[in-house]
Amino acid sequence: MKMLVANWKMAPETESIALRLAKATFTAAQKYKKSLAVIACVPYIYLSPIKKGVRALTLGVQGIAPGVDSAATGMVSVAMVKNIGAAYAIVGHSESRARGDTPEVVKAQLDLVLAKRMTPILCVGEKERDNQGWYLCTVKEQLETSLAKVPKATLKNIIIAYEPVWAIGKDATRQATPSECREMIIFIRKIVTDLYDKKLAASMRIIYGGSVDEGNAARYLDEGSADGLLVGRVSLDAKKFAKLAASII
């Protein structure tokens, strides 16, 4: 089953637009449910109305507090989102890391999400590519810190999202090529093999994100060997998102 994860980020601005978008996202999910698992990672504020209005849409959030102490002004806990019905949580997105989420914070979030039996979508990716291959070390470090002490039996619940920072969002310098995606996915499986074993590494779900659209999506899966996609901007455009889903079934 391929995965298609919508990352709405800090959009849309109203609940009625969010509900419309959720309905359209669910329509696409239903249409292709035999081969595609669609997950919408929405802003916290829309979790509850969407859960009520579009009950069967699989929901996720884009981060959680790194602790459980309720004296944490402005934060939202993993228990809160789980109790509303979120099943997935993005952790370590580069935009969250850029706002100050350290590797330790990302690790704490990952462990909390796993402990609540939700599925973490762990984002890794380098800020820039160099010719010496140092970007591989960045991803290795991110993985090693986050996966430290994660038991073998729990590992299969994690989804890894390779998101090269330079290919994300409107400031992307360019799109990643499918072969760059493939190289990194092979590398990630190698790291997981070194940390665990080959069988686990082979079964790990590794998805790709960064300027994915209805024109390039299929290539990241076919040539890039990704198990799914994490989609930002295009997930906010119902028509394009439906086209993207159709292009990868």
The yes-or-no answer on residue 163 being catalytic is yes
Question: Among the candidate windows 25-33, 143-151, 175-183, 226-234, which touches ligand PGA by CB under 6 A?
Answer: 226-234
CB of 10 or CB of 71, closer to ligand PGA: 10
Report d(CA 46, CA 202) in Å as an integer: 35
**In this structure, are residues 210 and 125 in contact, taking their beta carbons and an 8 Å threshold?**
yes
Contact letters for ligand PGA, residues 161-200 (x by CB under 6 A):
--x----xx-------------------------------
3-state secondary structure of 55: coil
3-state secondary structure of 41: strand
**In this structure, are residues 36 and 67 in contact, taking their beta carbons and an 8 Å threshold?**
no
Contact letters for ligand PGA, residues 196-225 (x by CB under 6 A):
-------------xxxx-------------
Q: Which of 61, 114, 231, 244 binds ligand PGA (CB under 6 A)?
A: 231
Count of residues that bind ligand PGA according to CB under 6 A: 12
CB of 22 or CB of 121, closer to ligand PGA: 121
DSSP 3-state percent helix, strand, coil across the chain (nearest 5): 45, 15, 35
The yes-or-no answer on residue 93 being catalytic is yes
**Which tokens belong to 26?**
């669910």
CA 75 to chain centre: 20
Q: What are the catalytic residues? A: 93, 163
Sites of contact with ligand PGA (CB under 6 A): 7, 163, 168-169, 209-212, 230-233
